């Protein structure tokens, strides 16, 4: 009884001092988070081929996870509730400033692992240049989004326009919502991924009679897949190889990609540099 009481006391003391049990370096189940850019049920349904592929390649059970937004995905990663997560470039560098994670693969499209953002405007709003956005409403997606916040905000800043001082900034949650808000003139301009904008036009969701492209950004590194840094080296290699070796069109279709390529943290320094220019504190966003 005495030993039991001593053990119980020590256990409670460890909890009181916040000592955490080490995360499993080779878990039987991998929790894999996907970008929350559509409804969770749609995302999980569309990525059943990815789940099946990873379970076969890694010989492990895979649970697909979709959080409510970028911030909650970062928090889940920070608390060790995820093994893998698919981030945008900005949300990745934000997560990296708070979590012990590492990028291992980035999307590749038409031989490139970079992409661009665009600033769009309603065709009836009298906006022909970025400078014309002064005094207007500008729609952004998520605060942690690269191409629907960081990139378009930097393009406006380069023209001397600052949010709140020179224009109204409204965060509407997603790239699709940005385009629709601009088309409906709820906002006269907005920023989003060039690829997503083109896809919306192709599907007929957005009409070029109502929305036009004002500016296109420079190239930025594509969305990275990340993993917990404390996973076993052998498992990390198997995970990276599984993504780099992936060629199945059915698995790649939801990502609108033709493959994944190896990538490192250094590739995202360009995003950190842009955040510094805009005076963004990544750890506090």
Q: What is the pLDDT of residues 91-113, one digit of tens each?
A: 999 999 999 999 999 999 888 99
What's the pLDDT score for residue 22?
56
Q: What is the mean pLDDT of residues 119-130?
A: 97
Please provide residue 159's backbone torsions phi and psi, each rounded to the nearest 5 degrees.
-100, 10
Non-local (6+) Cβ contacts of 137 within 8 A are 167, 168, 170, 186, 187, 188, 189
Beta strands of 67-152 (E only): which ranges? 84-86, 101-108, 114-115, 117-122, 137-140
Which token pair is 239? 């995970």
* Token pair listed for 253: 């279709």
DSSP assignment of 180-220 equals HHHHTTSSSEEEEEHHHHHHHHHHTSS-TTTEEEEEE---E
- Tens-place pLDDT, residues 4-35: 333 333 333 333 333 344 579 999 999 999 98
Specify the pLDDT at position 165: 97
Distance CA 145, CA 208 (A): 24
Other beta carbons within 10 Å of 1: 5
The Cα 219–Cα 260 span in angstroms is 17
For 36, residues 6+ apart whose C-beta sits below 8 A from its C-beta are 43, 66, 67, 68, 69, 70, 73
Question: pTM for the full model?
Answer: 0.78
pLDDT at residue 19 in the model: 36
Of 68, 92, 73, give the one whose Cα is nearest residue 31. Answer: 73
CB within 8 A of 152, min separation 6: which ones? 117, 118, 119, 138, 140, 190, 191, 192, 217
């Amino acid at each position: 009884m005495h030993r039991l009481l001593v053990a119980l006391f020590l256990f409670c003391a460890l909890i009181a001092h916040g000592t955490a049990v080490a995360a499993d370096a080779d878990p039987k189940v991998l929790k894999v988070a996907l970008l929350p850019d559509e409804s969770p049920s749609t995302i999980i349904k569309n990525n059943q081929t990815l789940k099946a592929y990873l379970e076969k390649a890694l010989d492990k059970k895979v649970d697909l996870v979709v959080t409510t937004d970028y911030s909650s995905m970062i928090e889940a990663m920070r608390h060790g509730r995820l093994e893998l997560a698919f981030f945008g470039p900005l949300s990745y560098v934000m997560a990296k400033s708070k979590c012990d994670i590492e990028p291992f693969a980035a999307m590749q499209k038409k031989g490139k692992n970079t992409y661009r953002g665009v600033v769009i405007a309603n065709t009836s709003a009298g906006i022909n240049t970025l400078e014309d956005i002064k005094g207007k409403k500008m729609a952004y997606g998520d605060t942690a989004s690269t191409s629907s916040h960081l990139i378009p905000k930097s393009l406006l800043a380069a023209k001397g326009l600052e949010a709140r001082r020179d224009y109204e900034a409204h965060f509407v949650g997603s790239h699709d919502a940005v385009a629709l808000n601009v088309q409906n003139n709820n906002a006269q301009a907005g920023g989003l991924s060039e690829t997503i904008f083109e896809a919306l036009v192709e599907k007929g969701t957005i009409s070029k009679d109502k929305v036009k492209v004002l500016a296109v950004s420079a190239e930025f590194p594509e969305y990275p897949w990340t993993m917990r840094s404390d996973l076993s080296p052998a498992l990390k290699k198997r995970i990276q190889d599984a993504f780099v070796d992936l060629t199945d069109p059915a698995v790649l279709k939801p990502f609108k990609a033709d493959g994944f390529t190896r990538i490192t943290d250094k590739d995202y320094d360009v995003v950190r540099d842009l955040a510094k220019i805009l005076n963004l504190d990544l750890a506090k966003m």
